[in-house]
Amino acid sequence: MTDLADGVPDPAGALDTPGRELLAALVSTPSPSGDESEAAARLAGFFAEHGREAWTDDAGNVRAPGDDSVLLTSHVDTVPGEIPVRVEDGDDELGVEGPVLWGRGSVDATGPLAAMAVAAVETGASFVGVVGEETDSRGARHLIEDRDAPETVINGEPSGWDAITLGYRGIVGGEYSVSTPAGHGARPDANAIDHATAWWERVRAAVADENGDAEPGGFDTITATAAAIDGGLADDGSAVTASMATRFRVPPSATPDAVRGLVEGCLDAGEIEWGASIPPHVASPRSTPATALRKGIRGAGGEPTHLQKTGTADANLYAGAWDVPVVTYGPGDAALDHAPDERLPLAEFDRAVSVLETACEQLTD
């Protein structure tokens, strides 16, 4: 590759491998959900330069077919936010020496994406960079409808180079709305805003009861989040309206349907319109991709650990639709996901590439 990372401040010349150059080039290319095309083109170009067929499908995913014993897949999109892209020497807070790449997506999930692209080129494994993971997972949803199942999947999200993520909670979202006739503010009758806030308090109480003594926000709990709220007098003055966008994380002990039922049981006015859901997923630590990744981690000098995350990932969709072993792996500290100080040590990126290459060699033998 040549000059992909031009313009990224790198005083020590650390962007000195094709993988590091690709990582810096992708991080320096803004790719918020819905605007991934430039980054996707750069990613497809990387495969073309290395003799691999690659194209962008109807959803905007970058497809580079190969050995379907394992599909390496991560997401091209990031959350919004600008972080000046540069390479700094060392990081006291992370406790690392050597070059560290700063920039939006360096952890979530451009680091895993670039590591997987390099490993796919080196081993011949299948690869897809999907779009829209941070919003509606439209890329993953298109993929599972548009191609046959591979034998195994390694999904790219930050786990740390020496850890494997086996589980994620699911998610279900709904839009609550209510309307009441307009009236004088001195009247004691509850209006739509009162109904909405009272409903949400009942939902929170019902979720707390369902969770029992479990630590709030833990892997085995339901989490209720109000994402947005709006309300007030209608434009024609005839009614007071209120609406609330809500999101519920679903643990493996529950289902999206069960959570919907719990929330609907709290209604006494208004209605809730549900959107698409993603079920929870927990993989076996004895699955073939988990075993292959552990071999790669040990080969790179690490002692592998297993994680369960309280968020949700495209891995859940792949496991549910394809019924094949799916685990998640990638460089980066997940505590820096979406953070204003997102950054990735380049030595960790290199180790993750090595781990993925070893894992792919095991799975494609």
Could you confirm whether 77 is annotated as catalytic?
A: yes
Pick the catalytic residue: 10, 21, 36, 133? 133
Pick the catalytic residue: 77, 134, 162, 314? 77
Could you confirm whether 133 is annotated as catalytic?
A: yes
Between CA 78 and CA 359 the distance in angstroms is 26
Strands 67-75 and 153-156: parallel
3-state secondary structure labels for all residues of the chain: CCCCCCCCCCCCCCCCCHHHHHHHHHHCCCCECCCCHHHHHHHHHHHHHCCCCCEECCCCCEEECCEEEEEEEEECCECCCCCCCEEEEEECCCCEEEEEEECCCCCCCHHHHHHHHHHHHHHCEEEEEECCCCCCCHHHHHHHHHCCCCCCEEEECCCCCCEEEEEECEEEEEEEEEEEECCCCCCCCCCHHHHHHHHHHHHHHHHHHHHCCCCCCCCCCCEEEEEEEEEEECCCCCEEEEEEEEEEEECCCCCHHHHHHHHHCCCCCCEEEEEEEECCEECCCCCHHHHHHHHHHHHCCCCCEEEEECCCCHHHHHHHHHCCCEEEECCCCHHHCCCCCCEEEHHHHHHHHHHHHHHHHHHHC
Which residues does the annotation mark as catalytic? 77, 133
